[in-house]
Amino acid sequence: MTATATPTTIVPVRPVVRRTGPSLPSLVGIEIRKSLSTRSGKALAAAAIVLAPAATAVVAGASTEPLPSVDGPIAVMGLLTGYLLIALGVLCTAGEWSHRTVQTTYLLVPHRGRVLASKATAMALTGAVLGAISTALTAGVLAVMVGDSTSWDGAGRAMTAAVVACVAFAVTGAGAGAAFANTPAALTSLYLVLLGVIPLLSGFKPEIAEKIDPANAVLNLGQGQSQTQSAVILAAWVVIPAVAGWILTHRRAVQ
Domain ranges of the chain: 24-251
Region label for 224, one of left (φ > 0), alpha (ψ between -120 and 50) or beta (otherwise): left
38-47, 92-101, 233-242: the lowest-pLDDT one: 92-101
Of 205 and 11, the one with more pLDDT: 205
Q: What pLDDT does 17 receive?
A: 43
Q: What amino acid occupies position 166?
A: C
- State the Cα–Cα distance between residues 191 and 177, nearest whole angstrom: 13
Identify whether the C-beta of residue 91 lies closer than 8 Å to the C-beta of residue 122: no
When pLDDT is cut at 50, 70 and 90, the band that residue 134 belongs to is very high
Mean pLDDT value across residues 29-50: 93
Q: What pLDDT does 145 receive?
A: 84
Q: What pLDDT does 16 receive?
A: 46
Mean pLDDT value across residues 89-93: 94
Q: What pLDDT does 82 receive?
A: 96
Mean pLDDT value across residues 209-237: 93
6-15, 22-31, 208-217: the lowest-pLDDT one: 6-15
The percent of residues in the chain predicted with pLDDT above 70, rounded, is 90
- Residues ≥6 apart with Cβ < 8 Å to 221: 75, 157, 161, 164, 165, 227, 230, 231, 234
226-239 pLDDT, tens digit each = 889 999 999 999 99
Sign of CA dihedral 107, 121, 231, 164: negative
Q: Please provide the average confidence, as pLDDT, over all residues in the chain.
A: 87
2-25 pLDDT, tens digit each = 555 555 555 555 554 445 567 888
